Structure 1
Amino acid sequence: EGPVVLFDYFSCEHLSDHSGVVDEVRPAVSWMYLYSGELTDEKVRRWGGGIAELVAEHGGGNRRIAVDHINPEGVEELARRGISVGNGEAVMENARLIKSPDEILAMRRSIVACEAAMGEMEAALKPGISENELWAELHRGNIARGGEWIETRLLSSGPRTNPWFQECSSRVVKNGDLVAFDTDLIGPYGFCADLSRTWLCGDRPPSNEQRDLFRIAADQIAHNTDLLRPGISFRDLVERSAVPPDDCYPTRYGVLYHGVGLADEYPTLPHSGDWTADTPDGVLEPGMVLCVESYIGRLGGREGVKIEEQILINETGNAKLSAYKLDERLL
Structure 2
Amino acid sequence: MDDLNDDEVLIVRRLPYMARSLPITIRSDFCLKTQKLLGTLPPQCGMFLRMPLLKHLSGELHLVNNDVIAEMIFEAITKKMVCSKLNRMDLDVVSSCLSSWKSDQERVEAFYKILAPVLNAAFEVWDVKTVNFKMARYNVDKIVNYITQMYVRCWKTASNPPFVLTALLKGLKQNLSIKENYVTISHLQLAIECFEILLKVDGNELDEDDILEDNTLDIAKMCVRLFCDDLNSYGHHIWKLFYHALQKTLDAFWMTKRTQHKISNCMLDLSKDLSADLDVLVHILVLELNFYKVDDIFGIFGSDDSCIDDDGREQLLDRIKMHPSCEVKANHSKLVLSHISDSDYKEFLYNVHHDYS
Answer whether TM exceeds 0.5 for this pair. Answer: no
In proportion to residue count, which structure has more helix? 2
TM-score by length of 1: 0.24
